[in-house]
Chains A and B, each alone.
Chain A
Amino acid sequence: MKKLNRRELIKIAAAAGAGALLPREAKAFGGMFEAITEKISEGIKGTVGREVETPLPVKGARFGMVIDLGLCIGCRRCSYACKLENNVPDAINPPYIMVFETKYKPGQIIDENAPVGSHSNGGGLLYTKLRKDRMYMPVQCNHCADPPCAKVCPTKATYKSPDGIVMMDYNKCIGCRYCMAACPYNARRFNWSKPELDPEKINPLVPVRTDGIVEKCTFCVHRTRRGRTTRCVEVCPNRARTFGNLNDPNSGVSQLIASERNFRLKVGLNTGPQIWYLTHPKKKPMRWYKPVPISPEIRGLRK
């Protein structure tokens, strides 16, 4: 093994330090780390007899995410990593994160010949190269401020946590799928059959669900409430995703949503989605993009 001299060692350390302290990343998580004060378990029991403890909501935090479509290359790594991280069985298809793909032609808002139904199956369609004629749009649970899924759930199995995460108590879910019908973002998944998972790949921090109940993205609650970021953010090769505390004006998400490129999905429904998108800086939006200027409501999030 080659020995490093002092100069090389200093170079590597400097590069690592600079990488770790990228302004955006530092801003994104700085506030969140400060906000985490308690890590007491609330003890949501796993549905296969395995007790999995979920940390308590982070006091003073309000989690949100920003996805920069100008940086998304449609690789679906977020989708695949999310599936592995959250013990999502293969039978659940599409997974929590769907990535839509559409062709782009300059000067056109929508290409009528665009491929449709091209949502990821989690494992396939792994694009690694940016294709200039395509646009990619990852969609998932928007952790709405006023979630229709929680309102309609007859058993309060779905609920809004104080830290902004829309959570599921799998022990209360009766599998009526009302939340799925009510969700405008198609973010919920039902276990139509008994889940089959490789025991060696099961994440012990995440409960394994059983058949007949609904599940969804939890903003990787087992990670984020312990001071880490979501798995989708971690694996994104182009740093298209940013996760953080919306209540912290210095966090990355707060800084990014101040961008004029920001928009949220289906704002007309007044669900208050907590995922912001940034449009591609050069491309015109697809027909279902609804860019909105910074509204007082959004500003009000930064208390």
Chain B
Amino acid sequence: MSIVKNSIGYVRESLADTDKKFYIYCLVLLIIAVLGLGGAITALAEGHYHSNMSDMVPWGVFISGLAFFIGLSAGATMVGLLIHGFGRDDYHPVGTRAILIGMLSIFAAMGCVMMDVGNPFRAMKIPFLLRNETSMFFISSTSYMGFTAILIAELVSTIYVTIGKAGKRGKKIAKVLGIIAVPYALIVVHSFTGTIFGVVKAREMWNTPLLPVHFVTSALASGFALVILVTIITSWASKKELVGRETYNHMGIMLCFFLIATVFLDTFDYLILSYSGTEEGLETWHLLTGRYLPTFLINMVGLYAALAIVSFKKYRTSRGLLYATSITIIAIAAYRINLISIGQLVPLYPEMGEIEYVPNIHEVAPFIGLVAILMLVYAVLTKLLPLEDRVHLTHK
């Protein structure tokens, strides 16, 4: 009983200084989450009958979401590496937030999988009761569990360090976890997520050994962009700068490198595709420059625009980075949508004709609901957990 009382007391204490705007924000997110969950429950009860997916286009918004959120989670772990591996102590104020973003992103990715599969309860038997070692879906989903465990351990150890209860050993554990999370995220988690699509030789757009590399670079760009964006928004909302001007500049330089790699791969990938000698390749190019031109432009123009912004030191400010990171995240989301959708829209037989897929409200609503839930959880956790910036200010 005392634990419950203490917990309630802790929550009350943590929320004592919270203003009404926070509660309104949470309430709005809760309403969106409930509405979205309604759609997810309908899909669970009645199947995906209402969705616009079909036997021709078996993967829709949820699988695009899986690829996107996995990318965010992998990129968000970079902060841990910068702090522990490269001694960038100026990143400390966003350390726990970055881990939280990574953790919630991986939950979002797994949520997308659960909402997509026809039998979510049976899917939970993977990897213990059901397994196929040659399946990239099996390898990836197993790696997500390992990644979740690493992130939870990293979060706990970081909190101990933050509140000053970690000994020498605890600090070492936090450091090791912060460093190993990045290679694990990039080499195991994200590369294998890219390989899910890369091994599908039936789909011209997916079947390339460069796809895992592509996923890694876009993951770094989008995930790191999200951390920067959250840092800027949190600073504005709390009216106190979490990091200094120099750190913003460094963040911009890091993002610039990630964007260069992504833009390089994107540009040459599409350039080679435009010269494709196969019918499927040409059809893919026609889709990109035809029906999917808006998302193609959002992807390419967005990446170049974001790169242009972060290339100049004078724009590597909080305002400049706000634009650059927002554009980066949208551009990479467009890339994911293009990759998953167009990969399936090229007819497997020319006589199939034009295949259509536009996600409808039954797919989009649960997806938005899921995002709302995670934003809500993030908002509440950042109030309850002892974050570096708050503890630091209290000490001051």
Q: Please give the residue numbers on chain A whose beta carbons come within 8 Å of chain B beta carbons, in ascending order.
A: 91-92, 94, 100-102, 114, 116-119, 137, 139, 148, 151-156, 172-178, 180-186, 188-194, 211-214, 269, 286-288
Contacts and interface: CB of A to CB of B under 8 A. Distances in A.
Contacts of B54: 192
B202 interface: yes
A93 B137 CA distance: 26
A180 B59 CA distance: 9
B123 A184 contact: no
B49 A176 contact: no
A91 B55 CA distance: 11
B352 interface: yes
Given A116-B351, A178-B196, A180-B58, A194 B122 contact: no
Nearest to A92: B55
Contacts of A188: 55
A2 to B, nearest CB: 50
B203 interface: yes
B348 interface: yes
B136 interface: yes
A100 B49 CA distance: 25
A155 B126 contact: yes
A117 B196 contact: no
Nearest to B141: A154
B132 interface: yes
A136 to B, nearest CB: 10
Given A155-B126, A156-B131, A193-B49, 11 more contacts: A100-B351, A154-B138, A155-B125, A181-B200, A181-B203, A182-B200, A184-B202, A190-B118, A212-B47, A214-B118, A286-B351
Contacts of A212: 47-48, 117-119
| Residue from A101, A178, A286 whose CB has the most chain B CB atoms within 10 Å | A178
A148 B202 contact: yes
Contacts, number: 149
Contacts of B56: 186
Given A139-B349, A181-B200, A94 B130 contact: no
Given A156-B130, A184-B202, A174 B117 contact: yes
B267 interface: no
B47 A174 contact: no
Q: Is the interface of B mostly helix, strand, loop or mixed?
A: loop
B30 to A, nearest CB: 29
A118 B138 contact: no
10 contacts: A101-B351, A116-B350, A151-B135, A154-B138, A155-B135, A178-B137, A184-B348, A192-B48, A193-B47, A213-B118
A94 B344 contact: no
Nearest to A189: B55
B352 A184 contact: no
A190 B58 contact: yes
B353 interface: yes
A152 B58 contact: no
Contacts of A148: 200-202
Given A100-B351, A148-B201, A269-B201, A176 B116 contact: yes
Given A117-B351, A192-B47, A154 B135 contact: yes
Contacts of A211: 46-47, 49, 118
| Residue from A116, A137, A151, A181 whose CB has the most chain B CB atoms within 10 Å | A181
B354 interface: yes
Contacts of B203: 181
- Kindly list the 3 A-B residue pairs having the minimum CB-CB distance in the complex, ordered from nearest: A175-B118, A212-B118, A117-B353
Interface string B27-58: 00000000000000000001111010111101
B238 interface: no
B165 to A, nearest CB: 41
A173 to B, nearest CB: 7
A191 B47 contact: yes
Nearest to B48: A192
A92 to B, nearest CB: 8
